[in-house]
Amino acid sequence: MATYEEIDTTYGFMEEFWRLSAGAHADITGAFYDGDYTKTLEQAQADKHDYILSRVRFLPGQRVLDIGCGWGGFLQTVMRRGGTGVGLTLSEVQARVCRDAGVDARLLDWKEADTKSIGQFDAVVSIGAMEAFCSVEEHLAGRQEEVYRHLFEFCHRALRPGGWMFLQTMLWDRKVPAPEDFNLKAPRGSDAYILAVLKQFFPGSWPPSGLEQIARAAARCFSVESTNNGRADYIRTMEEWSTRLKRVSFGKIVAVLRMLPHFVTDRDFGLRLEALWHDYNKQAFQRGLMTHERIVLKRLS
């Protein structure tokens, strides 16, 4: 699993620049257009929150656990709808931003979380975090499904009987690559090069190998009730992010100047900027290297 340091590397290195582009508490996971690409990004993100809350049968007064809560956008929606929530994140920056907004975010790995201290919940969600739950090393050791079994066992303990779980995650698509397929010396623009740069952008992470792997890992604790492929929606979301990231403002110029020392202290900083500027994540989806799923699971008694 990605470590605290690796998650901060991914989400903290351009925190000020990103939030100036996308908003103070932006939801930076794939939005829900559902085929209607006339929607604004904000409307598609709001519709995604509605979709998730409907799928977990949310009611006012209920408690929701968000594993990998980001900057707290979804939990703020839960609070506005009359619920309470707890978010888990490995990013110190994200935890601080959430707390400043009144969101109960814990700097805590789900593997270290104790349901005796965080309590039980009516729903558990994880939106765009599962791809970071297994490391390359765990995958190579044949432990990926074991990692996911432990995740579902934890969520089963955290959920009250009759509770629901929602997962939104990236997955490998038609072909699961081998780590040796990633090559920074490959021709620029090639699949091997793009995957290698994305590996630097998301260190410590190895996405699920498909829906079947997730269903097998969940089988003892959950039944998969429905799935919804969000690949096209995620491509559209990344197009919107790219437009906003590249929009110039005085605040963003100042933020860029503050980032300049990172080019000296962090050898992978330039690669992460390259991944953002050239939309490598979007390209991985367009090329069929990766896909995206929304999964609804019901707790087994």
- pLDDT, tens only, 136-157: 899 999 999 999 999 999 999 9
In this prediction, residues 260-277 reach a mean pLDDT of: 72
Q: For residue 141, what pLDDT is reported?
A: 94
Cα end-to-end span (Å), the chain = 28
Higher pLDDT, 265 or 12: 265
Q: Is residue 4 pLDDT above 50, yes or no?
A: no
Q: Which helix (H) or strand (E) holds 24?
A: none
Between 3.30.9.10, 3.40.50.300, 3.40.640.10, 3.40.50.150, what CATH number should domain 4-180+202-251+288-299 receive? 3.40.50.150
Q: Mind giving me the DSSP string for 174-226?
A: SSPPPGGG--TTSPTTSHHHHHHHHHHHSTT----S-HHHHHHHHTTTEEEEE
The domain limits of the chain are: 4-180+202-251+288-299
| pTM score | 0.88
Q: What average pLDDT does the chain have? A: 88
Q: Is residue 109 pLDDT above 60, yes or no?
A: yes
Q: For residue 31, what pLDDT is reported?
A: 94
In angstroms and rounded to an integer, the radius of gyration of the C-alpha atoms of the chain is 18
Can you tell me whether residue 56 is helix, strand or coil?
coil
List the beta bridge partners of residue 84: 63
